[in-house]
Amino acid sequence: MTSHRPAAVIIMAAGLGTRMKSATPKVLHEIGGRSLVGHAVVTARALAPEHLVVVVGTGREQVEAHLAKIDPDARTAFQEQQLGTGDAVRAGLTAVPEVDGAVVVTSGDVPLLRAETLQELLAEHQSSGNAVTVLTARVPDPTGYGRILPGEDGSVAGIVEHKDASPEQRQIDEINAGIYVFDAATLRDGLRRITTENAQGELYLTDVLGIARGDGKRVGAYVTEDAMQTEGVNDRVQLATLRAELNRRTLDTLMRSGVTVVDPNTTWVDSTVTLEQDVTLLPNTQLHGATAVASGATIGPDTTLTDVQVGGGATIIRCHGSGAVIGAGASVGPFAYLRPGTTLGAKGKIGTFVETKNAAIADGAKVPHLTYAGDATIGEGANIGAGTIFANYDGVNKHHTTIGRHSFIGSNSVLIAPRNVGDGSYVAAGSALTDDVEPGQIAVARGKQRNVPGWVARKRAGTKTAQAAADALSGDTGLDAQREARS
C-alpha cells in the first residue's frame, strides 16, 4: 500500500453539518465502529503519508480530542471561517512544511472510500504525469454535484459546480467526488490565485484545476466504477444509508473469507471486528468495537458483543457482553450479561440469567444459572449453584470473593465479601457466608428450621389453606368431594 507514498494527506473535516441537526459535529457521528472522520483517517494512514492533516472547524475541541485518541500523530489545522474548500485546504497546508511531491485531498465525511482506491488514484496521477488528478464517478442523478468538463485529449478541461453550470453542463453524468491528488507546487500556486467570483462567493478548490490547465499543465481524472465510495454524509438519512451499505460490504467480505452469516439482514458487524474462518453468526447478532472471534465459534442468535474476545469453538447465545474474554470451547447464555472484566476459561460455563463483572472464572468452572458474580475469582472446576449472590458491595466499597478449585457452592447462597472459600470445599444450600471456608470443609450458615404445629388453624382460620390442612390431617384429601361433584 505504500508504493505511491504521498508527501501529505489533507482531510477536510471543518463543515458545519447543520443538516445533521446535532450537538455532535458531523464528522464524529459513527458508522461501522468508527466516526466518519475516523474512517477517513484510517484510509489516509494506509497510504503512509509523510504528513497527515485534518482541517477542523465547528466543534474544534471535540474533534481534536477525538483525533488525539484515534491517531495522536495526526496534525490539525483550524479553518476559522467557512469560506469554501479552497480555504480549507489552504488552512491545511499551514500545518505542514513546504513539501514537494503529491498532496492528497480528501473529505472527513466519505466513510466508504477505500485505501485501494486512493492508491489507484495516486498511481494514475504519477503514471500520467498530471499536475492534478481528480477522482470521479458516473451517477444516474448528478444533481448537486460538480460536473467534469472533458478535454479533447481525455484530460479534464475543468470542473463546474452545479449552481454555476449551464443547462447543457448539468446533463453531464460524470461528477467530481471531491477527492484529489495535486502536485504540491501546483496546489500552493493555485491557492494563491483563486478568487470568490462564483455563485457561492467561496474559494473553490476546483478552481485550482482551471488555473493549472491555463498554465499548460495536465489535469486528469480517475473514474471509479464504485460510485458508492464517493458518497458523503450530510444528514441522518444519508448516515443510515451508508451505515447499511458499509455493513453489507463488511458482511460480504467476511462471508467470502469463510464466515457463515445466517441472516445478513439482521446481522451487524463493525469494520473494526475480527472474525476467523468457520465462525458462525446467527440472526440478530451485533458485534462491535474490538471484538475478535476465533475459528469454530458460534455467536447468536440475539447477541450483542462489544470489545469481547471469543475463543475457538465457544458458543454464545442470547447474550449481552462487553469488555469480556471467553475461552475456547466455553458456553455462555442464554440470557447472560457479561460486564467488563469478565474472563471465562476454556470449557467453562456462564448460564441462564447470570450476570458477571470483574469475575475471573477458570477453566471448566461453571456458573450455570440465576447468579450474580461480581468481583470474584472462581477456581478451576468449581460449580456455583443456582441463585447464588456474590455480595460484593457494602454500600461504600467493593470487596472480592475467591472460590477455590473444584469447590461447590450450594443453591441460594449469599457470599458476603470479602470471603475466601478454599479448594475442595462445600457451602451448603441457603447459606449466608460471613466467614472463610478452609479446604475440605463444608460451611453451613443458615438458621435452624422450626415447625410450629397448628399455626394455620389459629392464624388463617376460614381460609382455603386452613381447610386443606384440616382435610389432610383428617385423612380426607378432598378427592371424594371432587368425584361427587363430577358425578
Q: Which residues are tagged catalytic? A: 369
CB 375, CB 397: distance < 8 Å: no
DSSP for 107-173, please give it.
ETT-TT--HHHHHHHHHHHHHTT-SEEEEEEE-S--TTSPEEEE-TTSSEEEEE-GGG--TTGGG--
Distance separating alpha carbons of residues 114 and 246, to the nearest angstrom: 11
From 97, 131, 119, select the one nearest 44 (Cα to Cα): 119
From 425, 389, 432, select the one nearest 408 (Cα to Cα): 425
Instruction: Give the side-chain half-sphere CA count within 13 A for 454.
Output: 1
Distance separating alpha carbons of residues 421 and 442, to the nearest angstrom: 10
- Cell numbers of 158, please? 475543468
Contacting residues for 370 by C-beta, under 8 A, at least 6 apart:
352, 353, 354, 386, 387, 388
Distance separating alpha carbons of residues 428 and 137, to the nearest angstrom: 72
Distance separating alpha carbons of residues 248 and 271, to the nearest angstrom: 11
